[in-house]
Amino acid sequence: MSKARIYMDWNATAPLLEAAREACLSALGLIGNPSSVHGEGRKIRALIESARRDVAALCGAAPANLVFTSGATEAANLVLTPDFRMGKTPISIGRLYVSAIEHPAIREGGRFPADRVSEIPVTQQGIVDLVALESALEAHDRQTGLPMVAVMLANNETGIVQPIAEVSRLVKAAGGVLVVDAVQAAGRMTLSIEELGADFLIVSSHKIGGPKGAGALLARGEILMPTALIRGGGQEKGHRSGTENPAAIAGFGAAARVAVENLEERMVPVLAMRDRLEQAMVALAPDVVIHGRDGHRLANTSFFTLPGLKAETGQIAFDLEGVALSAGSACSSGKVGQSYVLAAMGHDPGQGALRISIGPSTSEAEIDGVIAAFGKIAARRRLSGAAA
For residue 1, being part of any structural domain is answered with no
Query: Which of 260, 293, 311 delimits the end of a domain?
Result: 260
- Cβ distance 62 to 87 under 8 Å? no
- Structural domains of the chain, count: 2
* The pLDDT of residue 387: 42
* The pLDDT of residue 383: 81
For residue 222, being part of any structural domain is answered with yes
Domain shared by 224 and 253, yes or no: yes
* The pLDDT of residue 388: 38
CATH assignment at residue 378 = 3.90.1150.10
* The pLDDT of residue 384: 75
Each residue's pLDDT tens digit, 307-360: 989 999 999 999 999 999 998 655 554 555 678 999 999 988 788 899 999 999
Domain shared by 256 and 154, yes or no: yes
pLDDT tens over the chain, length 388 residues = 567 999 999 999 999 999 999 999 999 999 999 999 999 999 999 999 999 999 999 999 999 999 999 999 999 999 999 999 999 999 999 999 999 999 999 999 999 999 999 999 999 999 999 999 999 999 999 999 999 999 999 999 999 999 999 999 999 999 999 999 999 999 999 999 999 999 999 999 999 999 999 999 999 998 999 999 999 999 999 999 999 999 999 999 999 999 999 999 999 999 999 999 999 999 999 999 999 999 999 999 999 999 989 999 999 999 999 999 998 655 554 555 678 999 999 988 788 899 999 999 999 999 999 999 999 999 998 887 644 3
- Could you tell me the pTM of the whole model? 0.95
Domain shared by 75 and 195, yes or no: yes
Give me the active site residues, please: 331
- Cβ distance 230 to 217 under 8 Å? no
Domain shared by 95 and 209, yes or no: yes
148 forms beta bridges with 96, 177
Q: For 23, how many CA atoms within 13 A lie in the half-sphere containing its CB?
A: 29
Domain shared by 237 and 104, yes or no: yes
Domain shared by 185 and 285, yes or no: no
* The pLDDT of residue 336: 55
* 70 φ/ψ angles, rounded to the nearest 5 degrees: -80, -5
Domain shared by 254 and 346, yes or no: no
Query: Which of 231, 260, 289 delimits the end of a domain?
Result: 260
* 280 φ/ψ angles, rounded to the nearest 5 degrees: -65, -40
* The pLDDT of residue 337: 60
For residue 232, being part of any structural domain is answered with yes
Domain shared by 170 and 219, yes or no: yes
Report the length, in residues, of the chain: 388
250 forms beta bridges with none
- Cβ distance 329 to 353 under 8 Å? no
Domain shared by 223 and 287, yes or no: no
Domain shared by 44 and 168, yes or no: yes
Q: Whole domain around residue 35: which residue ranges? A: 20-260
* The pLDDT of residue 107: 96
Torsion of CA 253, 98, 113, 86, to 10 degrees: 60
* The pLDDT of residue 333: 44
Whole-number Å distance between alpha carbons of 41 and 43: 5
Domain shared by 26 and 134, yes or no: yes
CA-based torsion, 116, 173, 63, 237: positive or negative:
negative
Burial 343-382 (b: 16+ CB within 10 A, else e): ebbebebebbbbbbbbbbebeeebbebbbbbbeebbeebe
Whole-number Å distance between alpha carbons of 384 and 388: 6
Whole-number Å distance between alpha carbons of 216 and 223: 17
Query: Which of 237, 260, 283 delimits the end of a domain?
Result: 260
CATH assignment at residue 72 = 3.40.640.10
Quick one: 280 exposed, middle or buried, by C-beta within 10 A (0-12, 13-18, 19+)? middle
CA gyration radius for the chain?
A: 22
Domain shared by 218 and 90, yes or no: yes
* The pLDDT of residue 104: 96
